[in-house]
Amino acid sequence: MVFEPYNEKGTTLREKGTTLFERGTLLPPPVPAPLPKPSPTPTPFIDLVERERKDAIIHDTHAIFEVHENPSAKANADPWYSRKKEEQVTEYSQLIEVEARRKGLDPDFVKAVVWMETTHGWYDEITGLVKEPKTIRPMNIHVDYWKGLGYSRNDLQDPMINIEVGAFLLAEIWKRTKDPTPEKVATLYNDLGARKVSDYGKTVIVYYRSRPWLPPPPPPIPAPLPTPPLPTPTPYLREHEQENRKAEDSAANRNVDYVGQYCTVRGCTQERAEKIDQLCGQAKEWVECVLDKIRGVSVETGDVLPSDVANALDRHFHIDVQVAHGIGIYAAGMLIRNIVKVFEKMKLDFNGGMIYICETGKWNPYCRQPLYVHRINPKVVHICPRFFDEIGSELLQRVFLLHESVHFASRLPGAPNTIPGFSLSEVYRFENPEKYRKLSTYSALRNADSYAHFAWELCEPGTFVFD
């Protein structure tokens, strides 16, 4: 509608046969500029076949996995072929909890999957004698199926990497599953092409709820028996009571442990015990120094490592972050995080109080080395006379002490070492420097000397020479 004002005579311009537009005194309203179109949200791919689902995880693309409920699926938590003694949840419980929380998963859910895979999928112990197994426990990662993630068979044989990859797959499946539930995600972990919940998924939920890896509750404590009356002391006991107490005190004084600021020492002279406590504190400082330099660094997000850290990683673990690209960047980041875990565990051990026992060395076959550890006795290091008699440098004594502490990394009491001691594959840098330089990344990550000399180079660079 055109606006038609009245003139001074009360007639409109239309009555005069012209309008403001026609007379040119009123401009037409401006045409508004078109609104910018919002950027389109990528449409997720739905109802994918198994190969497409796998590609979505490997290449990190947007997709929705549909899995329907299945009332006919049945759990089978105790089949005839299952072997509870093969479970590896207890052995790697701490690793599972760390990786599950890092990926935003319930640790009990990941433990339920590991329980299922190790108690039902142990048959590789038999078939592996004939041919190389396709999957590797504890999470039964299929080597060829998931080779697109960039991990080799040797990588997946390391429990730390194996559990981290398994938790990564569970997390990736969870975020792509429509209306995710533990049974749906477990079903897809077992069969990525599944369209409905399987018996596998139902069985995992039984373990998830019952948590069979927990120890049984202790038996009830019986009521105490009535205490019989004490016999009346004889005159002889009263006469020699003071002498008996002196003898007991003297024996106790000979066996008193030396409790220092950083550790406990048994069986040593006062002077040597104080020396060990001092070395323990210095080794702890190295551990904290390493963590300050590499903890929190993420090469996947573009963080640039300082040159000294990058050189030390390449020299002792053969991780070259300067040339890594693509999936190699993610793999390098995961390996660095595994190294951080070892030093974090050592810090916990030092804070909790290590125990050092001085051995005489006589008739002790283990004392061919300056120090040694036993698999069955965690957090205890045995020190032989060679440690004091043949290693004159305080700096080298600190390296040897840290070497033994590495053997306790990523393990629980009574469980095998992730970084074993007295292994045929263990390489000492001083004894065989050429072989040390040629270690693979996988072997270096399981070699205690690699961690000790890595810490030495980072924290005492002025005294370290890599010959």
Helix (H) or strand (E) holding 136: strand 135-136
Q: Tell me, what CATH number does 326's domain have?
A: 3.40.390.10
134 with 91, same domain? yes
Residue 215 lies in a domain: no
Confidence at residue 248, expressed as pLDDT on a 0 to 100 scale:
43
- Taking 90 as the threshold, does the pLDDT of residue 177 lie above it? yes
Q: How confident is the model at residue 410 (pLDDT cuts 50, 70, 90)?
A: very low
- Count of domains in the chain? 3
Residues 180 and 106 grouped into a single domain: yes
Residue 253 burial by Cβ neighbours in a 10 Å radius (0-12, 13-18, 19+): exposed
Per the DSSP assignment, residues forming a β-bridge with 196 are 68
Q: Which residue shows structure tokens 């965690």? A: 378
Q: Distance between terminal CA atoms of the chain?
A: 93
Where is the domain boundary, 195, 210, 225? 210
pLDDT bracket for residue 218 (50, 70, 90): confident
Helix (H, G, I), strand (E, B) or coil at 231: coil
Residue 276 has φ and ψ, to the nearest 5°, of: -65, -40
* Residue 246 falls inside a structural domain: no
Q: Is residue 226 part of a domain?
A: no
Indicate whether 247 belongs to any domain: no
The answer on 380 and 297 residing in a single domain is yes
Residue 238 has a pLDDT of: 47
Is 82 among the domain residues?
A: yes
Band of residue 25 on the pLDDT scale cut at 50, 70, 90: very low
Peptide bond into 218 cis (omega under 30): no
3-class SS of residue 258 = strand
Same domain flag for 156 and 284? no
Q: What is the DSSP letter of 25?
A: S
Give the separation between CA 24 and CA 29, rounded to whole angstroms.
Answer: 13
107 in any annotated domain: yes
Q: Supply 438's token pair.
A: 């040629």
What domain range includes position 5?
A: 1-28
Q: Tell me: the pLDDT tens digits for 315-369?
A: 898 888 766 555 567 778 888 888 888 898 888 888 877 888 888 766 667 777 7
- Rama region for 168: left / alpha / beta (φ>0; ψ in -120 to 50; rest): alpha
243 part of a folded domain: no
Q: Looking at the structure, tell me whether residues 202 and 294 fall in a common domain.
A: no
Q: Which of 186, 150, 178 is nearest to 165 (CA)?
A: 150
Q: Are residues 263 and 408 in the same domain?
A: yes
Separation CA 13–CA 10 (nearest Å): 10
The answer on 398 and 451 residing in a single domain is yes
- CATH number, position 113: 1.10.530
Query: According to the model, what pLDDT value does residue 189 have?
Result: 96
Q: Taking the model in full, what pTM does it have?
A: 0.46
In terms of Cα–Cα distance, which of 310, 406, 330 is closest to 165? 330
Band the pLDDT of 186: cuts 50, 70, 90. Answer: very high
Same domain? For 23 and 102 the reply is no
- Tokens 């190389």 sit on residue: 132
Q: Do 317 and 442 belong together in one domain?
A: yes
Using the 3D structure, point to which of 148, 183, 210 is the last residue of a domain: 210
Q: Do 331 and 433 share a domain, yes or no?
A: yes
Is 380 contained in some domain? yes
Average pLDDT over the chain, rounded to an integer: 79
Residues 263 and 150 in one domain: no
Residues 6+ apart with CB under 8 A from 311: none
| C-alpha dihedral, 123 to 126 to 129 to 131, nearest 10° | -40
Q: Are residues 61 and 24 in the same domain?
A: no
Decide if 57 contacts 166 (C-beta within 8 A): no
* Section 404-408 average pLDDT: 80
Give the whole-angstrom CA distance, residue 94 versus residue 106: 13
Record the tokens describing residue 278, joined without a space.
Answer: 């001092």
Rounded Cα–Cα distance for residues 396 and 464 (Å): 11
